[in-house]
Amino acid sequence: MPIEEKQPFNLLRWFALLSFLSVGLITAVSSILLSSFLTHNMLQRDAVVTMEFVQTIAQAENTRSYFETDDPGKTKTVFEAFFKQIATMPEVVRANVYNGNGSILWSDDDRFIGHRFSPNPQLETALSGKLAVTSGTSGKSSKPEHVFDQEVPFFAEIYIPVWNLSENKVVGVVEVYKVPLTLFHAIQRGNQLVWLSAGLGGIFLYVSLFWIVRRAARVIRRQQEQLVESKTMAAIGEMASAVAHGIRNPLASIRSSAEVALEENPPFRATAEEIIHETDRIEDWIRELLVYSKPPSGNPASIRINDLIQSTLDSLDREMRKRSVKPTLTLEPSSPLVHADEALMRHVLISLIANSLDAMPEGGELRVSSQNEKNAGRVEIVIKDTGSGIPEAQMDKIFKPFYTTKSKGMGVGLSLAKRIIERHGGTLQMESKEGIGTTVLLHIPSAG
């Protein structure tokens, strides 16, 4: 039965999804609550102003005493005069007057007089002595008294308690319908600002958290890669030590025998030379493997990078002439200093230049330059060849250990060079176009 491979936990994807839903939900809920709070308080404030105006008129006209009378004629005359004063208030479109039992004593619509509409929670609240206010849109209410002569986009319904002369009992309620368009537009603008600010705040929060988690995910991934690399290097180190111990002595014997055969048996000279060449190549592989398996610590010091580049090219001069490669050297005139280990840096330069030479088996041009980037506090080294280049599909793999396209390579040269440069606090980048050539960019921290 095949074993199901577990998919790794994708921290960034799950965080992006869950945080988006959470921030969106919190933003929507907070916007709804704030909008409701803003609307309620603005309506309440307008209702308080209306209540104070109505109660002032009722007290000045002594209207309160007519709430308990049984004479419809008197109440009609008094309340009509009362309503005329209320009608002078801006945006008032209707008024109803209720007695203490909840029946309509007077209304500007005669159809409602004498009726009692229930249930009416706002009326009950006002009869208990508290100001009640509600709002709505014309045509969306089930209350029968919500019938206006014209369609209104928004109305406020205010229930104002009226107390007796002793101020110890509610004797009636004045219901005022208003169409506060100015207030309505102010509430709309306020709600738009609430939603806009909440939305922008939510977006900022989401982007900030996503950026932090994305950086954290990259750090975690890098640490995981370093951990895997460390374990791999430990295993390679053990393997390399065992291989070196088990192979070097037989290799030495094989090489010695080949040298003897080379001197004593001229007919086998070509074969003996091939054996010596191959044993030397195996020895180089073992040495490279041992170097790669050890952490490239070295002894950093201030070195003149121009001198190191020049001496490295001089050591490879014979190989370049053999391959018909023309070197072009452009060095920084100030001869900058870098803080690095000279032996390790020489190894990096030799490895990179050797790769360029391998890419130009039929000759070409090798350009090496240095530049002091004082503002960035580093020195740039550029190695450019006119070789065959690297296919784009292979660019993501070139720095992986043991990946090689050469028949006579182990695939640790570029990986080791990158490790050495990064241990020195620098960077190694490579650009290549198939059929045109490859460019290597080295950035090394300058000394001082």
Give pTM, 2 decimals: 0.53
- 298-445 maps to CATH 3.20.20.70: no
Distance of CA 13 to the CA centre of its chain: 11
In angstroms, the first-to-last Cα distance of the chain is 63
β pairing state of 325-330 and 132-136: unpaired
Residue type, 108: D
Delimit the domains of the chain by residue range: 11-193, 298-445
Buried b (16+ CB within 10 A) or exposed e, 142-160: eeebbeeeeebebbbbbbb
Tell the burial category of 209 from Cβ atoms under 10 Å away from its Cβ (0-12, 13-18, 19+). Answer: middle
Read off the tokens for 387.
């070789």
- Residue 28 has a pLDDT of 92
Tell the burial category of 316 from Cβ atoms under 10 Å away from its Cβ (0-12, 13-18, 19+). Answer: buried
- Residue 363 has a pLDDT of 85
Stretch 309-317: mean pLDDT: 88
pLDDT tens string 229-258 = 777 767 766 776 777 777 777 877 888 887
Residue 141 confidence class, pLDDT cut points 50, 70, 90: low
- Candidate from 244-248, 275-279, 344-348 with smallest mean pLDDT: 244-248
Q: Residue 394 carries which DSSP code?
A: G
Residue 45 phi, psi dihedral angles, 5° rounding: -65, -45
Where does 294-383 have alpha helices with state H? Answer: 305-315, 317-322, 342-358
Q: Which CATH class is domain 11-193?
A: alpha beta
Got the DSSP string for 183-211? HHHHHHHHHHHHHHHHHHHHHHHHHHHHH
Rounded to 10°, the helix 269-293/181-264 angle is: 140
Mapping DSSP to helix (H, G, I), strand (E, B) and coil, where does residue 226 land? helix
- Residue 193 has a pLDDT of 92
Cis link prior to 119 (omega < 30° from 0)? Answer: yes
